[in-house]
């Protein structure tokens, strides 16, 4: 059994999508990041970077004691290897999936995260920061659009953990005020993979728990954004 420590956010949904797609049994332990549960010693023992998601595999392949994994890229690779799905084993296709997976965790996620932060949550509107991250977001959309003009899926012909890493972030396009139809190949892919039953189930996990206004609460602002309201 896989124990998933998570919250309903794009990074969390990468893993619920993979767990639904690959069919490994799992149970969810919710971590309320707006209340600081990512800083408890129990959570830090499995996720020392105090970020969700993380997993604990209580039935690892070697039959030994439970294995914990943090960082979505590492979790996706771990689950792909455990289930034997969504990460090809031949050298060329495997390296393509890893390239796009690392591109997502090192670029698409962090840049869209910063764009969303300055656009939606920052206490002051800082035009330079918003514009800088918007420009980078649009550049990354363009990179993905060109890749999907040549390939059915993010890392080539087959659906893989690279698609699962990208989808929950692209799904934020409305909040980020990105014109998806301006990226026709990306839009084609988005509409196509959105039909997958496993992906749909994974994206539904925790929907009723979403905090749509994290900036509205002083304690959450302090915990998530480091904003201390008493300091000017
Ligand atoms: N690089 C990390 C990013 C994870 C991440 O940023 N998680 C956010 C939620 S989407 C989080 O846990 N935030 C809690 C905090 O900032 O204290 C990964 O890919 O796992």
141-154 confidence digits (pLDDT tens): 999 999 999 999 99
Distance 90 CA to ligand 1 centre (A): 31
Residue position matching structure tokens 């690959």: 22
Is the C-beta atom of 9 inside 6 A of ligand 1?
A: yes
Q: How far apart are CA 11 and CA 9, in angstroms?
A: 5
Q: Are 148 and 189 in contact (CB under 8 A)?
A: yes
Nearest CA to ligand 1 atom 6: 51
Token pair recorded at residue 222: 């302090």
Least confident of 12-26, 60-74, 206-220: 206-220
Q: How much is the pTM? A: 0.96
Q: Are 80 and 22 in contact (CB under 8 A)?
A: yes
Mean of pLDDT values over 197-210: 97
- Residue 205 has a pLDDT of 98
Q: What angle do CA 174, 180, 185 make, to 5 degrees?
A: 150
Is the C-beta atom of 51 inside 6 A of ligand 1?
A: yes
Is the C-beta atom of 71 inside 6 A of ligand 1?
A: yes
Residue position matching structure tokens 């499995």: 46
Q: DSSP code of 216?
A: G
Nearest CA to ligand 1 atom 12: 51
Q: DSSP code of 208?
A: G
Given a cut of 50, is residue 231 above it in pLDDT?
Answer: no
Distance 166 CA to ligand 1 centre (A): 15
- The share of the chain scoring above pLDDT 90, in percent, equals 89
Q: Which atom of ligand 1 is nearest to the CA of 39?
A: 17
- Residue 213 has a pLDDT of 86
Distance 59 CA to ligand 1 centre (A): 25
Q: Which atom of ligand 1 is nearest to the CA of 50?
A: 17
Is the C-beta atom of 148 inside 6 A of ligand 1?
A: no
Is the C-beta atom of 222 inside 6 A of ligand 1?
A: no
Distance 159 CA to ligand 1 centre (A): 24
- Residue 226 has a pLDDT of 83
- Residue 232 has a pLDDT of 43
Distance 92 CA to ligand 1 centre (A): 30
Q: How far apart are CA 180 and CA 145, in angstroms?
A: 10
Is the C-beta atom of 52 inside 6 A of ligand 1?
A: yes
Q: How far apart are CA 122 and CA 9, in angstroms?
A: 18
CB under 8 Å to 199, separation ≥6 — which residues? 17, 20, 21, 164, 167, 193
What is the residue-averaged pLDDT of the chain? Answer: 96
Nearest CA to ligand 1 atom 13: 51
């Amino acid at each position: 059994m896989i124990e998933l420590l998570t919250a309903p956010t794009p990074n969390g949904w990468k893993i619920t999508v993979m767990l639904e797609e690959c069919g490994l049994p799992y149970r969810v332990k919710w971590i309320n990041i707006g209340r600081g549960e990512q800083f408890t010693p129990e959570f830090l023992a499995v996720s020392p970077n105090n970020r969700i998601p993380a997993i604990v595999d209580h039935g690892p392949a070697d039959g030994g004691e439970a294995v914990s994994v943090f960082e979505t890229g590492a979790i996706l690779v771990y689950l792909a290897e455990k289930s034997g799905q969504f990460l090809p084993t031949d050298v060329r296709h495997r390296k393509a999936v890893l390239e796009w997976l690392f591109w997502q965790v090192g670029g698409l996620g962090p840049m869209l995260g910063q764009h969303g932060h300055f656009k939606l949550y920052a206490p002051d509107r800082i035009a330079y920061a918003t514009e800088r991250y918007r420009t980078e977001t649009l550049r990354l959309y363009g990179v993905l659009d060109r890749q999907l003009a040549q390939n059915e899926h993010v890392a080539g012909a087959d659906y893989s953990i690279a698609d699962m890493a990208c989808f929950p972030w692209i799904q934020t396009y409305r909040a980020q005020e990105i014109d998806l139809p301006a990226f026709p190949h990306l839009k084609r892919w988005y509409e196509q993979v959105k039909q997958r039953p496993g992906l749909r189930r994974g994206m539904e996990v925790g929907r009723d728990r979403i905090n749509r206004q994290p900036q509205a609460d002083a304690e959450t602002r302090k915990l998530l954004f480091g904003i201390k309201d008493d300091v000017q």
